[in-house]
Amino acid sequence: MSYAKSVKIVEVAPRDGLQNEATTIGISERVRFIEELTDAGLWTIECGSFVSPKWVPQMAGTADVLRQLKRTPGVRYTVLVPNLKGLEAAIESGVEEIAVFASASESFSQHNINCSTDESLSRMSDVAQAALARGIRVRGYVSCVLGCPYEGDISLKAVTRVAAALAGMGCYEVSLGDTIGVGTPRKARAMLSEVAEHVPIDRLAAHFHDTWGQALANVLACLEMGLAVVDSAAGGLGGCPYAKGASGNLATEDLLYMLQGMNIETGIDLGKVAATGWRIANLLGRQPSSKAALAWKASRTND
Amino acid sequence: MSYAKSVKIVEVAPRDGLQNEATTIGISERVRFIEELTDAGLWTIECGSFVSPKWVPQMAGTADVLRQLKRTPGVRYTVLVPNLKGLEAAIESGVEEIAVFASASESFSQHNINCSTDESLSRMSDVAQAALARGIRVRGYVSCVLGCPYEGDISLKAVTRVAAALAGMGCYEVSLGDTIGVGTPRKARAMLSEVAEHVPIDRLAAHFHDTWGQALANVLACLEMGLAVVDSAAGGLGGCPYAKGASGNLATEDLLYMLQGMNIETGIDLGKVAATGWRIANLLGRQPSSKAALAWKASRTND
């Protein structure tokens, strides 16, 4: 048990959260959301993606979001980029950091982006190379690290191979995604342990979905191993496309409450995150899928 | 990290869950609920309490629930008993196990049952003595082990003193309750560590509420220390009387999903628990406050 003294939270609600919601949130509301998250103290925020609006209408207008945003110095605004065309659009928008991705599951890769994992790694390598040449930071995502909706279990070897490939192409950090939220702590720990033998743990992040309510326990298991970067989404935004009605990303509020209680620094204001998470959830016609957000509101109402 | 090979789950939804819900569930539905939980494999189930229906209308008719119940051999049906009068009613209902309780917080004790912790321990000791003399098993609850709605932090010494007193009066097991769900893993671990120096860990149970979304992570921290008994409620039933709109008990479904994924045996069928949890939640006019229950239903709908 040697927890990091501080943990970096990568806020993914404006991208990974909103892209999986049935309701599309307008550009000005997304801008306000990102600005409020920044005001709460988050300093790495995934703002959108340059994918075809035909496939992901929720992310249409990412260029406008970036244009309208009042940028705060020191804050990293990142966007997801699937290919060189997306990178061009990102560069036009003055982006300083992008995220690329590949799946540890062959079937998921085929279903999701219609190519093999190796083909996608090759494509991502081109994107990373071009980005790095322009001084743009690159972050990598591995999806399906704890299970795949088509294949079930995924071998640690497959996860490690993709994580190492992303690190090898210059990703400063590789985020390990339990895309469908099926992991449990022992498996999370075994996976991280294996990957960390090939990519230093200080270049790894946990990106766990809360589909089965396991995300925070899985994060705890990883923190116990010294991991210090965690992805989460305000309000627990984002459902699961493979299980309609299920929960989305680990909620930033739940994560923050745990870290604060453990005296692990984040520099982030839970109340401000909860407030903006509630606002967006209300726009989506529901309450946040974060228990800490519910308790936060209840505790204010009781005052 | 030395997890128990199997974990006993004490199902508390019919009592601790339902008593904190705004809607009162009728006797026949409570009977059916307990029978369905038994059918799912749960073998220790808190069925109700013999407190005044003036104070807890949701538990009115506990004697009728016990009378109408088709009892399964080997299953432990327990009831909460606050005093000798309650014990008499429990004995008349043919109960073989009762639960008594005391608070680690003086203020909570005064607000909740209008007497000091010492006075309540003395009362509980009388109840325990009378019960044990008739061959009735006694389980003890300590409330506010990780915080109090009136006092905030509670000293480990206070928690340990009450836990040891309950063990000393003959409780075969002492359940450590984070009544308002404010604990986090480091604090849960420190608390359990301290108590376990005075009461053997195999006589301790974790009873954590999920108000701030921390319950499962806290349970994980305790399991890592060798704890092997956990209280939970199907559907995550039970709100928090100190935070209206917040979540209730740790959901049995979320706990089961984690234990199954960690190859820790429970003998319980997650699907059956989820089904009966959904049924009761629907009677309460809402969905379960269990992410695993939502994912379970979604995965069935997708089939």
pLDDT tens-digit map of A32-72: 999 999 999 999 999 999 998 898 999 999 999 999 999 99
pLDDT of residue A302: 61
Q: How many CA atoms lie within 13 A of A49 on its CB side?
A: 25
pLDDT of residue B278: 98
Q: How many contacts does A have with B, using Cβ atoms within 8 A?
A: 137
In the predicted model, what is the mean pLDDT of chain B?
A: 96
Report which of B175, B122, B114 is spatially closest to residue B144, judged by C-alpha positions: B175
Task: Give mean pLDDT, residues B147-164.
Answer: 97
Q: How do A173-178 and A204-208 pair as beta strands? A: parallel
Displacement of CA B98 from its chain's centroid (Å)? 12
Mutation site, A193, A208, A258, interface B, largest B CB count within 10 A: A258
| Cα distance between residue A231 and residue A18, in whole Å | 14
Residue-by-residue pLDDT tens, chain A, 303 positions: 789 999 999 999 999 999 999 999 999 999 999 999 999 999 999 999 999 889 899 999 999 999 999 999 999 999 999 999 999 999 999 999 999 999 999 999 999 999 999 999 999 999 999 999 999 999 999 999 999 999 999 999 999 999 999 999 999 999 999 999 999 999 999 999 999 999 999 999 999 999 999 999 999 999 999 999 999 999 999 988 888 888 899 999 999 999 999 999 999 999 999 999 999 999 999 999 999 999 999 998 765
pLDDT of residue A244: 82
Q: Tell me which residue in A186, A244, A297 faces B298 most closely, judged by beta carbons.
A: A244
Report which of B275, B185, B252 is spatially closest to residue B224, judged by C-alpha positions: B185
B214: chain A residues, CB-CB within 8 Å = 216, 254, 257-258, 261
pLDDT of residue B242: 81
B182: chain A residues, CB-CB within 8 Å = 261
Do the Cβ atoms of B244 and A290 come within 8 Å? no
Mutation site, B146, B184, B225, interface A, largest A CB count within 10 A: B184
B303: pLDDT strictly greater than 60? no
The 10s digit of each residue's pLDDT in B6-57 is 999 999 999 999 999 999 999 999 999 999 999 999 999 999 999 988 989 9
The helix (run of H) or strand (run of E) holding residue A101 is strand A97-103
Share of chain B above pLDDT 90, in %: 93
Do the Cβ atoms of B258 and A217 come within 8 Å? yes
Residues constituting chain B: 303
The 10s digit of each residue's pLDDT in A214-250 is 999 999 999 999 999 999 999 999 988 888 888 899 9
Q: How do B76-80 and A76-80 pair as beta strands? A: unpaired
Do the Cβ atoms of A211 and B290 come within 8 Å? no
- DSSP-derived 3-state class of residue B130: helix
A257: chain B residues, CB-CB within 8 Å = 184, 212-214
| Cα distance between residue A8 and residue A55, in whole Å | 31
Do the Cβ atoms of A292 and B253 come within 8 Å? no
Q: Tell me which residue in A217, A251, A258 faces B184 most closely, judged by beta carbons.
A: A258
> pLDDT-based confidence at B246, cuts 50/70/90?
confident
B187: chain A residues, CB-CB within 8 Å = 261-262
pLDDT of residue A243: 80
pLDDT of residue B187: 98
